[in-house]
Structure 1
């Protein structure tokens, strides 16, 4: 069991200097402990994480710069800087940068579950089908492509 450690994770850096490249997007872990896992993403125009479900975790997004198009439980919406998106466990969700500008956002999940291990396995992986298979082993299930329409 890992408890939350006191301290500061600096802007533009990952916890203990870690950075992951997950299917072309940069992820910087900010908090890693059993009860919470937070990471910053930098999504370029066209980047997305297709609709998926976390069965054991609640997830949140704080948009810091830019905007995100979200599909939450089958409904499209937009989130702007300062907005917090709430995604309870079991609710299908995905995010998409459909704008012409980058988006920076802070994500966090509670509890951490297997997400840190998942991100470590996805780092520098380019095979999308393999990423979907590995995700399912870590309690994250991607829906069929038509869920993203």
Structure 2
């Protein structure tokens, strides 16, 4: 499995390619294929409207969810219920490829907007927070 996604949007070094859109499922879900660089991960955050599932295809994610920690490697999945504070970090020295499954769909537009605007963390946090709020997302703390 290659770790470069053709026709992907890139934000903060992570590649995002929506492979199942919100529109194609009548809003039920969306799936984003992602490749995150070694050591990368988002600030702690909460999705207020979506459940999120990470399916790791290559590499390893170290995760934190409301004080619990663990790892998720290739062939494993992590379920994050809506409303739960969480974050992750790629813990290998290589990129991690993972699917992000969102139910209901729609949040994938946040990734596309951030890539299109070229927003940077932490330099552009005001714009990132504003977009997050429009996509039912609150940032709550620092990355791992």
Alignment length (residue pairs): 133
Could you say which structure has the greater relative contact order, defined with CA pairs below 8 angstroms and 6 or more residues apart?
2
Q: 1:117 aligns to what?
A: 109
- Checking the alignment, whether the CA contact within 8 Å between 1:36 and 1:110 is kept in structure 2 is yes
Structure-2 change in CA distance of 1:102 and 1:127 (3 Å): closer
Per-residue CA deviations over 1:81-130 (Å, capped at 9, x if unaligned) read: 111100000011111012212111111000013x1332221114233312
Q: 2:133 aligns to what?
A: 136
SS in 1 for 2:44: strand
Question: Runs of 4+ in structure 1 displaced over 4 angstroms?
Answer: 11-14
Q: 1:102 aligns to what?
A: 95
1:50 to 43, 54, 58: 43
SS in 2 for 1:119: helix
Distance 1:54 1:80 in 2: 23
Tell me the TM-score normalized by structure 1.
Answer: 0.80
The aligned runs of 1:1-149 (5 Å cut-off) are 18-33=7-22, 34-113=27-106, 115-124=107-116, 125-128=118-121, 129=125, 130-145=127-142, 148=143
Structure-2 change in CA distance of 1:12 and 1:99 (3 Å): closer
Gaps of 5+ in 2: none
* 1:13 CA drift (Å): 5.3
